[in-house]
Chains A and B, each alone.
Chain A
Amino acid sequence: MMTLMQAAAPLLVLALTVTAMLAALAIRRSFAVTIGIAATGLILATISIPWALAARANPFPSLFNLTPDALGFAGLILLAGLATLILATLYLTRDLPLPREEYPLLLVLATLGAFAMATSAGFITLFLGLETMTIAMIGMIAYPRDRPEAEEAALKYLVLSGMSSAIVLFGIGLAALATGHLTFAPLLAAGPNPIILTALALIGAGAGFKLSVVPFHIWVPDIYAGAPAPSAAYVAVIPKIAVIAVILHLLAMPGSTVSPILASAVGIVAMLSMLVGNLLALMQENLKRVLGYSSIAHLGYLLIALLAAGRIGRAGVIFYIVTYAITVIGAFGVIGVLSRAGSARDADQIDDLRGLFWHRPLLATIMTLILLSLAGIPPAIGFIAKLYIMAAGVSADLRVLTATLVLSSVIGLFYYLRIILVMALKPADRAEAPASVIAIPITGWLTMAGLGALILGFGIAPQSLMTLLHAVFK
């Protein structure tokens, strides 16, 4: 029995965690207990990943794809979930006039959905995972429900993601109609007939929505800005890892080819995402909106490596998504440790960071590293990630895309640099500036310092991360 379930162990641990949390909530409401169960569950699931990697047999071959690659992405999802859980624990302080216990539950539930999605072997699991994740995330976005902007963001996300789910579902239906199956392989094996192409286009649009690439990006800034910081970090990172995992799985399947039309469509999407993301970020005064537009641009960069395919392209995609996860969680983490769910708004205006170098030099240094990483400047890890994308682009001879990458990176510099200088400005006289009065608990410092150390450490010694990724993703 143990060996039979070995490969599925992390998934089972996660499912059990959700059940345990529900049971604990039914007995007695305690924030500490729910957080404890959630953290233990996520940690146990992460620890069981190496054990699951060693498994020989897959207990649910028709539902889940438990290959090392999929489990690797699942591990990344778990770690990212854990990081956002820590941020959420700090963020949801006692002064929030609402029960706080459901937030960890929603977070673990969303992680379970993302896990299922990343390891899905067919459309059924894919769709169920997608919906579990999305619905739980809507709850996370709307959590501080007395903030009007959080409610508005959740409603927008509900409507738009409902629509994108419907589109995906329609695509899945068409695929099933054409092939008679709900698994991935027959769809790839079938020739280019109109129904299959339509199905692929519809499913692709759904993926584009979750990846937040142009032209499916309209929701991003509003929802990032309205959501509380830890939820924004979650929405910005975890669905994207899951979608990338599915795409890489599909691309790695035998018989999968990227037709030239599809490739040029993705190329145009990538180019527009890079330019639109970076250009619109220039005009923002809200840090979460900046991060929203910047994430659009970053996914555009990532699509270059995805298009380049080949060994270096694949490694580039994986390296980039890891970098993206660390950096973006770090960026929202800085907003998160300076804000509290109980206050009327998050400290998410660029002006809120004014003088951060003066009253919190360590946090400002970490934020500088994060911004350098987002801008792709050494010695931060973002530089190595961008180098990977360039190497993939050059070796696949994607000239126009690589040139656009360079051009849009220059545009990106403007807004990242401005934030660094705002932090170095003399603090304003406002004594009540939230960034200067909020006490940051030691766990907050440890998390932020840990993320900063990863950004700098992997930037200086990328070899360590490459070896790790190489060991997991063969």
Chain B
Amino acid sequence: MTWETVIGLEIHVQLSAESKIFSPASTVFCNAANTQVREVDCGFPGALPVLNRRVVDCAILLGTAISATVNQRSEFARKNYFYPDLPKGYQISQFEYPIVEHGEMWINGSQGEMRIGVTRAHLEEDAGKLIHDHWATSSGVDLNRAGTPLLEIVSEPDLRDINDAVLYASEMHKLVRWLGICDGNMQEGSFRIDANISVRHPGDELGTRCEIKNLNSFRFLEQALHYERERQINLIEDGGTVVQQTRLFNTASGETRAMRSKEDAHDYRYFPDPDLPPLLVDDAWIAEVIATMPELPRARAQRFINDYQLSSYDATLLTADKDFSDYYETLLAQLATDSEQRNQHAKLCANWLCGDFAALLNEHKIEISASKIDIAAFADLMRCLINDTISGKIAKTVLLKMWDSGEHASIIIEREGLMQISDSSALEKIGNDIIAANAQQAQQYRDGKDRLLGFFVGQMMKATKGQANPEQANEIMKRLLAQ
């Protein structure tokens, strides 16, 4: 009997804002404990929350990007429970009336272009952190993170395939970074995933779901979903039933274990926060935010395909990251002002960015913005290739040197004498020497062993340390051997 997996994801996105959602305290990660705490963040008597407008802008951006409704009236509620990292004894969140509802994400998944519904996205504050390993008999509380703004994005249970679920999460990750509303740093917890998963036979009612909390990498998400899927199927096939539970994923063992079941779930006693009036977002506010909205990755990829005749593969690579994509666009703009010329260079630049340059970025694990090679330097390298100053092979060497120094390509080429040799008389002299030194092979070529041409061209490249213009080398050797 076949099993169908049903998955829905809740993604907690830490919003990029300089100050907290309800206080002027800074949100910078990893400062000394309890140094980024104002009256509200510590839950002092009489302290009151004031909403940071920036977080609303972030929600509007996301809502618009996923074609959702941005509610003109939403409401903050209190989620009440006791825990030492929760200074007020309640978390301010949106419950009955979230700011964003009825959105959609498109992914290129197991069924081709797939629409994944987004039920809602709501604003809320993060809790603080407990520190357990400093003292033998007590724990500490660090409230630096308390009040950090979060946007919780809840998908419909539309996902049927674990790979699609991972793809949806990574597309969302890409989108929030693209919009500039989240730094996407998963290690620091800026993007955390709770996965709801159940199994059923196709056509049956939904099975009982379990929620796996706090997954902070796509690999863990994938592992946790696989483990949980197998666990539920085995349980049912062995005659058991799945109990609705919240589960934790153990990254060391790759297993999930029960944290709490529905029976001991908290009664959060939600009610509208009387300290915060309803959040009213008018058309003017929405329009103001949309005016700052960047071209979205899918639209840009399509434009690359249409205008630059790039392959869908290249277009996707070049829109995986906004900085990377912007780098590409600026690079093209620096190379040519008219669009025809720009389109001519589009493929070359795409190859070099997605190929050698991307490999270097990956190898050193740095963002494009942190690379020493600025766009002008890279454009210089592309120009040297376009006007045949160097060959592609030399360009690879030059790029490596640029990576270390950040110098423009032409400076390195000039200093190290890496210019391509296009002087045909010089190349002809080298060619004649090579033929003289390899008379036997020359005879074999003339007797019809055509593939030996490659050997001779290779010898010429070797003799010129790769600086011979490859096309010219090819042409000259062919001509000399025929004599």
Q: Do A and B bind each other?
A: no
User: Which of A's residues lie within 8 Å of B, judged by CB?
Assistant: none
User: Which of B's residues lie within 8 Å of A, judged by CB?
Assistant: none
